[in-house]
Amino acid sequence: MLLNIKNLHVSIGGKEILKGLNLGVNEGEIHAIMGPNGTGKSTLAAAITGREGYEITEGEIWYKGKNIVGMSPDDRANEGIFLSFQYPVEIPGVSIQNFMRTAINAKREYNGQAPIPTVDFLKMMKEKQAMVEITEKLQNRFVNVGFSGGEKKKNEIFQMAMLEPSLAILDETDSGLDIDALRIVANGVNHLHRPDNAFVVITHYQRLLDYIVPDFVHVMYDGRIVKSGGKNLALELEEKGYEWIKESNL
Amino acid sequence: MKDNDNNSGIVQQQLLDFYKSNEAAICADDTPKVRVLRNNALQRFQDFGFPNAKMENWRNSKIINALHGNFRMPALDEKHSEAKPFSCELCDMDTEIIMLVNGVFSGETSLKKYDNGMVIGSTRTAMKARPDLFDRYFGTTMPAETNGFYDVNTALWHDGYFVYVPKNVAAERPVQVIKLIDNESNPFVQTRNLIILEDNASLQLIDCDDSFNQQSSLINAFTEIVIGDNASLDKYKLQNINDNTSLLNSNSIRQFGNSRFRSNTISFNGGMIRNNIHVALDAEGAEAQVYGLYLMDKHQHIDNYLKVNHKVPNCTSFEKFKGILDDEASAVFNGHVYVAPGAQKTNAQQNNSNIILTPKAKIDAKPFLEIYADDVKCAHGTSTGQLDQEAMFYMQQRGISKANARMLLMYAFAAEISNHIAIPAMQERIDDMIKRRLRGELSSCDNCVLRCSHPKEYHFEIDENKL
C-alpha cells in the first residue's frame, strides 16, 4: 500500500480536528475525498505533508513502508508527496524557473543524483508547461504573483508535472476555476496518472469528478471518514447534498 | 546621554585645536570662496558642535556614540605605506579608478584629464588646478539644514575625490572610487568629494567603502553632486567595512531641469553607518531614484536619512530602502519628502520595508511627507515583518530545505533593490555578495568588493572573464 493512515488524530492549537481517520491508498488509484466545510479535509492534507502547527496526537501515517510522522515537509516532498495548494502562495522575487530548478535539484540531491543539466531542465519546462497550456511568458514571472485564480491552479499542476510525485494531493484544486481551466487541470492530472502513482482529490463538488474519475469516493464528516464507495457515491452526494450524511452521523 | 554629550564636546575641542595648529596647511590651497566657507563652517561648529540624540533627525541613531573621544587626527600628508600592494591594473576591470587611502588621494597622477574634457582625481588638486571650475560648483549644494558633521567636514576637509564631466560628454567607462582606511590607530577622517555633471553629461560611478583590517576608525565623508540640465548620474555606493568602523556618508545632490539621478546604496557590513542623502530638485522635469539595501547582523547599526526637496513643479522622486536585520542589529529609516508651495504635479513615492529575523533586532522607521501643494501624487509606506511562513511551507512542500527556502526568500527580498543596478557585471557581483552575506560567508576582510587591492587574498566564484 502506498499510503496507509491509521487512526489519525490531529489537533490545531489544542482543538481536535481529525478524530481517528483511516485511509488506504494503493498505487494506481484515484481517491476522492468529499464532505461539508469544516470537516477536516484540508487538515488531512496538512497532516500528510507535515505542516507546522498540526499536532498528531495519535495514529500513524505510513507511506512507502515508512511512518512519516515527524519527518520534515521537505523530506516528505522529496519522498514523492505533492500537495496542490487550495491557495497557492505568492513569492515575490522568486521566478518560477528558479523555484522549479531549486526544487528539482533538491529532490535529485535527496536521491543522490547530480543536479539537472540546464538543457534538460529547459526542455522539461517547455514540455510540461505545454501540457497545462501555460505560456512561456508566465514562466519568467515570480511564483504566483499577479496570477489569476486559474493561472495559479494551472501552475500547481505544472509543478506537479515537473516533480513527478508518487502521491499527489489536490486540495480543492477546482475551486474558483472556470470550465476551461477545470478541463486543463483535469487533463493534466489524467495525463500524469500512471499505474505507479496515486491521487487524492479533495473537493466539494462532483463537477471535477466528471473529468477526473475516481476509483473510490470517501465522505468526511467531523474528522472521520464516515462513508466510502465507488464513483457513484459522488453522484449520490451531488443529488442528495450532505445533510443525510450529517443526520446519519448525529 | 550625558556621557556622549561630554565626549562629543571633547572631540569638538580636539577638532578645533587640530584646525588651529594646522590652519596654514589645511587652507594652503584654498580659493577665496573655499576659505570663506571654511571659516563660516568652523564658526558654526564652534557654536553648535555635534548633533545630539535629542534632535529629531538624530533620534535612535547610534552614530553619535562613535564620538568616544579616542580618535586621532591624521597628519595631513598621511598616506598609505608604499609597501602595501595596490594593484588596480591587475584586476582588469573596465573602469576608471580613483583610490583614496585615509581620505587622501593615492596614486601617481592626482588629476587625470581626458581628451573629451573629463577630469577625475583629487579634490585638492582640482581646487588648485581648476579654481574657476571648482568655485563654480563647490559649496553650491549644501543643504539648509546643516549639522556638526557637515560643518566640521567643510571646515577641515583636506582631500577626497573629484569628478568632472563636461557638457555633452557621456563618460565612456564607469568611474570607480575605492576608499580604504589603513591605519593602526583610530583616525578621524574628513573626506570631501565633488561630482559635477554639466548639461547633457552622463556618468556611472561606483563608490566603495572598505576596510583594510579590523582597526577602528571614524569616517566623515561629504559628497557634493551637481547634475546639470538633461544630465544623468548613476551612483552606486557599496559599504563593506569592519565592525569597528563608524561611517558617516553624506551626500548633497542638486538637480537641474530634466536631469536624472539614480542612486543605490548597498550596505553589507559596518559597525555603525549613517547615510545622509539630500536631494534638491531645483528645476522642472528632474527625477531622482534613491534605492538602498542593508543587511546587518551582530550589533551593527545602520541609519539612513533621506531628504528630498521638491522645490518646483513636475519632478519625480522614488525612494525604496529595504533591510534584513539579524541578531541584535538595529536600523533607522528616516525619510522626509518636502513638496514646496507651488510644486504641482509632483510625483513622490517613498517606501521602507524590513525583515526582522530575531526578536532582538530592531527597526525605527519614520517616513514623512510634508506637502504644501495640492495637485500632487505622493505616497509613503513602511512594512516590517518576519519571513513569510506560508511561503516557507510552500517551498518546503516542493522539497526545498528550510535553510534554502529562507535563503531564497531573503535573496528575493534583497534582489528587488540590486535589480536596479544598471551595470550588468556589477549587478552579478553584487548579487553574489548578497548571497554570501546572507549565508554568513562574506567578511569585511573581502575588502574592496571589486578586488582591486590584495589580489592574493581573493577567491571569487564569479567568472572573471565576464567583467
Assess whether pLDDT exceeds 60 at residue A116: yes
CA-CA distances (angstroms) from residue B339 to B227, B258, B372, B379, B450?
A: 20, 17, 6, 12, 38
Selected for mutation to probe chain A from B322, B383, B389, B395 (highest A CB count within 10 Å) is: B395
Q: How far is A29 from chain B (nearest CA, A)?
A: 22
Taking CB atoms and an 8 Å limit, are B396 and A92 in contact across chains?
A: no
Instruction: Report ipTM (2 d.p.).
Output: 0.96
> What's the average model confidence in pLDDT over A27-55?
95
Task: Read off the pLDDT band of A175 (50, 70, 90).
Answer: confident
Mean pLDDT score across all residues of chain B: 87
CA-CA distances (angstroms) from residue B103 to B1, B76, B177, B182?
A: 30, 10, 11, 10
Which of B252, B245, B250 lies closest to B271 in space, CA to CA? B245
Residue A17 vs residue B218, higher pLDDT: A17
Assess whether pLDDT exceeds 80 at residue B203: yes
- Is the Cα torsion angle B127, B129, B131, B135 positive or negative in sign? negative
Taking CB atoms and an 8 Å limit, are A85 and B401 in contact across chains?
A: no
Assess whether pLDDT exceeds 50 at residue B455: no
Which residues have a Cβ under 8 Å from the Cβ of A53 and sit 6 or more positions away?
A12, A13
Separation between Cα atoms, residue B452 and residue A183, nearest integer Å: 59
- Give pLDDT, residue B415: 92
- Give pLDDT, residue B448: 42
> What's the average model confidence in pLDDT over B167-178?
94
- Give pLDDT, residue B180: 78
> What's the average model confidence in pLDDT over B13-20?
92
- Domains of chain B, residue spans: 2-283, 394-466
The reply to whether B383 touches chain A by the CB within 8 Å rule is no
- Percent of chain B whose pLDDT exceeds 90: 66
Separation between Cα atoms, residue B43 and residue A37, nearest integer Å: 75
The reply to whether A163 touches chain B by the CB within 8 Å rule is yes
Calculate Rg over the CA atoms of chain A: 18
Residues of A in contact with B411 (CB under 8 A): 93
Ramachandran class of B223: left when φ > 0, alpha when ψ lies in -120 to 50, beta otherwise: beta
Give the tens place of pLDDT for each residue, A211-234. 999 999 999 999 999 999 999 998
Task: Read off the pLDDT band of B183 (50, 70, 90).
Answer: low
Assess whether pLDDT exceeds 60 at residue A81: yes
**Where is average pLDDT lowest: B114-123, B153-162, B402-411, B446-455?**
B446-455
The 8-class DSSP code of residue B69 comes to S
Residues of B in contact with A51 (CB under 8 A): 393
Assess whether pLDDT exceeds 90 at residue A21: yes
Taking CB atoms and an 8 Å limit, are B399 and A74 in contact across chains?
A: yes
Taking CB atoms and an 8 Å limit, are B395 and A99 in contact across chains?
A: yes
- Give pLDDT, residue B65: 80
Taking CB atoms and an 8 Å limit, are A74 and B401 in contact across chains?
A: yes
Selected for mutation to probe chain B from A85, A89, A100, A113 (highest B CB count within 10 Å) is: A89
Taking CB atoms and an 8 Å limit, are B413 and A82 in contact across chains?
A: no
Give the tens place of pLDDT for each residue, A60-79. 999 999 999 999 999 999 99
Selected for mutation to probe chain B from A74, A147, A167 (highest B CB count within 10 Å) is: A74
Residues of A in contact with B404 (CB under 8 A): 102, 106
Residues of A in contact with B413 (CB under 8 A): 92-93
Which of B401, B337, B322, B409 lies closest to B373 in space, CA to CA? B337
Taking CB atoms and an 8 Å limit, are A93 and B412 in contact across chains?
A: yes
Taking CB atoms and an 8 Å limit, are A74 and B411 in contact across chains?
A: no
Taking CB atoms and an 8 Å limit, are B394 and A77 in contact across chains?
A: no
- Give pLDDT, residue B459: 31
The reply to whether B398 touches chain A by the CB within 8 Å rule is yes
Smallest CA–CA distance from B390 into chain A, residue: A89
Selected for mutation to probe chain B from A52, A102, A159, A162 (highest B CB count within 10 Å) is: A102
Taking CB atoms and an 8 Å limit, are B398 and A99 in contact across chains?
A: yes
Task: Read off the pLDDT band of B6 (50, 70, 90).
Answer: low
- Give pLDDT, residue B381: 92
Assess whether pLDDT exceeds 60 at residue B452: no
Residue B306 bridge partners (DSSP): B277, B335
Taking CB atoms and an 8 Å limit, are A99 and B416 in contact across chains?
A: no
Assess whether pLDDT exceeds 80 at residue B380: yes
Contacts by A106-114, CB closer than 8 A, 24 or more apart: A106/A74, A106/A78, A106/B398, A106/B399, A106/B400, A106/B401, A106/B404, A107/A77, A107/A78, A107/A163, A107/B399, A110/A75, A110/A78, A110/B399, A111/A78
Residue B333 bridge partners (DSSP): B304, B365
The reply to whether A106 touches chain B by the CB within 8 Å rule is yes
- Give pLDDT, residue B3: 46
The reply to whether B411 touches chain A by the CB within 8 Å rule is yes
Taking CB atoms and an 8 Å limit, are B394 and A91 in contact across chains?
A: yes
Please count the other Cβ atoms lying within 10 Å of the Cβ belonging to residue A249.
12
Across the interface, which of A85, A91, A93 has its CB nearest the CB of B415?
A93
Smallest CA–CA distance from A88 into chain B, residue: B394
**Where is average pLDDT lowest: A35-49, B82-96, B415-429?**
B82-96
- Is the Cα torsion angle A177, A179, A185, A186 positive or negative in sign? positive
Task: Read off the pLDDT band of B79 (50, 70, 90).
Answer: low
Give the tens place of pLDDT for each residue, B352-361. 999 999 999 9
End-to-end CA distance of chain B: 48
